[in-house]
Structure 1
């Protein structure tokens, strides 16, 4: 091989090596850029998820504050007015029939106030509030049961309120639509996670036809507020089952 051929070969090898190095640098740059881009998108997605959670939490908190205020106003103002009217009627002749109407109105008012903001939940916790909810629903041929299988009876107040609201909505939906004769709640707690399971033996429904059911979406969003999950299972003539899971921590399980 002549010196000229050798120089051409060396030049070709050198050029090829330079091209390979440049290609490798481009590949490394593109890969790193894609990684940074993916990381940035992931961070933006996490920020958006947290933002959505904050919005959900704020919305539900605003609803609870409004309901609490309405409940207090109904109890303090309207309740007091009805009670005063009853006392005044007791001194009049022929006031019995009106008194009965007022008594019925007062009972209805107390039920509405209790639904808006149950004092049992704040005073005695989730177990007592759920038991009260179940007791009120037991009537006629309907049998509603609560199995509390957790050694803990009190949890962080926000968790208790969310779980109670979901239980309340599950029960109300079942009473209105399911035609069930048996309804059950089961509460368990294991390894830092609380679970509330619900089941009725009603007529169920086809989940494919209720993709945007407001009640189901509302319960799922409530669960998200406390970092939990909501799921359900049903079918025509198969009843309805749902489960809510939510994290609980040791330093927040007991209070008051």
Structure 2
């Protein structure tokens, strides 16, 4: 494991340990804590309400949580609510299970129910608008009431942890719960947005499947809290019972699709691919079955079988996913450690809560029991989302590196072409000077001899034309072959050109330079030709008396400024050319910027080329 991943894992387990420590009922924390409400539990076996009221204490008396697992019978619960304070107060009997199909409540030996509610009734049927089943009682000081309830959760997991809270305690409980649920909801929404962003950027199907997984888990958590029934489907009494297994199965499918797309099995590990595909199909078929089979037509025995199948399937999936991630981690697959730590984090919370619900020996707090799955999911999503962030960062760096390499290769190739073109220009310039220039020079000398012998004025005219041809050939040769640019460098070559111009033309040419960095050869050639083109434009078209050239460089850029005090040119002339098309093409090749300001007082050309 890399040092970075080791730190992340240590932080994760530290977070887990602190959460566990703060959530357990340690002796020092019990002081001032609401004592669990004693109650009598009795399996319903055809008893009437009267029989249930008469049941003796020897039936089953428990203090705290009761979790028999999946059973096929209903349960009688009898307890007493009493105000032991000195003042009248409102008390709330909380069952700490928002998923009971039907509840009938009887008060003080009455055989007629004071309230009938449950998941099989619309949310408005509840006496108190809460995600959990809450029953308020107004009690005077010392007053007590006997409460009998019949709870129906046949064929499904059943557990209760009755508590009696006064108004202040209940308000504190609700406020803390809403704070936790708000934080978890905000976190999950943020993770979904971030993951979808990574999917849009990376175009990895695993990121899309992971976003579906996080959404499914969030909807499962929302349903598990009872918030789905309260806010999303308060009238859908058929969906409230299906929502949790449906979202659970959907999250299983999405998680396995995420893993096999993020870590595709190699050809030597085809058995993993077969295993995951089989589990995906089984989960998918169970999901469809839950969706299409009307719950009202299903017997408790069938529901129990389905749920037990889902539990066994979940255990197989946990072992399969952890085993596969361990194999990937041992194979040193990138980011496998993040997934392994994240999934282990989630499953650790789930196993911890399951063990406490079955045995009750861990004595986990109310908050960890109700929100432990959410805490585990937050840790898991944080680690895996961090893996996507790392992957996106690495891929971005790889793309940038590849783009730079391609750009460098393209530039090197273009530089080679430019240098080859320059070599060809030099050859043509030399040929013009040595071949045609030499022949024209010889012709000029012979014409001079003939003219002296014959004194023919026609020969003098021809000699003048030949002399012009010699001058034009020299100019062409000079332009094609920058004088000693390779040997002298850009600054010295331009300085020589300026000195020559000051000798040959009446325009005053000034040259200022300050170079702090070395300029590549191909750039030197381009800049030299740009300067010559700008000077030529000023000499031919501007009617200037002075031309100023500035060449300045620093580590970031090379800056060229050419100014004249001529008559300037119009936008139409600028569009038509004046050699500017060639200049613009060269500047674009160098990834530079060209700015021209021309008016009747002169023209200023600014060229900035990045280093």
Q: Same fold (TM over 0.5)?
A: yes
Cα distance in 1 between the residues matched to 2:488 and 2:482: 10
SS of structure 2 residue aligned to 1:119: coil
Alignment RMSD, CA only?
Answer: 4.5
Does the 8 Å contact 2:574/2:580 carry over to 1?
A: no
> Is residue 2:80 matched to residue 1:80?
no
- Which range is displaced more, 165-174 or 116-125? 116-125
Unaligned runs of 5+ in 1: 249-256
**Which residue in the other structure is 1:223 paired with?**
587
**Which residue in the other structure is 2:198 paired with?**
32
Q: How many residues align?
A: 242
SS of structure 2 residue aligned to 1:7: coil
> Is residue 2:465 matched to residue 1:107?
no
1:79 to 1:3, Cα distance in 2 relative to 1, 3 A = same
Does the 8 Å contact 2:558/2:608 carry over to 1?
A: yes
Cα distance in 2 between the residues matched to 1:60 and 1:234: 29
Does the 8 Å contact 1:142/1:180 carry over to 2?
A: no
Cα distance in 2 between the residues matched to 1:243 and 1:141: 24
Quick check: which has more Rg, 1 or 2? 2
**1:209 Cα offset (Å):** 8.2
**Which residue in the other structure is 1:254 paired with?**
none
> Is residue 2:99 matched to residue 1:7?
yes
Deviations 1:103-135 (A, max 9, x none): 332222111100111224334333343234334
Does the 8 Å contact 2:495/2:511 carry over to 1?
A: no
- Which range is displaced more, 81-90 or 117-126? 81-90
- Which range is displaced more, 43-52 or 235-244? 43-52
Give the TM-score taking structure 2 as reference length.
Answer: 0.32
**Which residue in the other structure is 1:131 paired with?**
495
Q: Could you say which structure has the greater relative contact order, defined with CA pairs below 8 angstroms and 6 or more residues apart?
A: 1
Unaligned runs of 5+ in 2: 1-92, 101-130, 134-176, 204-391
- Which range is displaced more, 83-92 or 171-180? 83-92
1:105 to 1:207, Cα distance in 2 relative to 1, 3 A = closer
> Is residue 2:503 matched to residue 1:145?
no
1:87 to 1:139, Cα distance in 2 relative to 1, 3 A = closer
**1:167 Cα offset (Å):** 0.4
**1:69 Cα offset (Å):** 3.0
**1:173 Cα offset (Å):** 1.9
Does the 8 Å contact 1:186/1:196 carry over to 2?
A: yes
Cα distance in 1 between the residues matched to 2:495 and 2:96: 98
**1:185 Cα offset (Å):** 0.9
Alignment of 1:186-201 (within 5 A): 186-191=550-555, 193-201=557-565
* Aligned partner of 2:605 among 227, 232, 242: 242
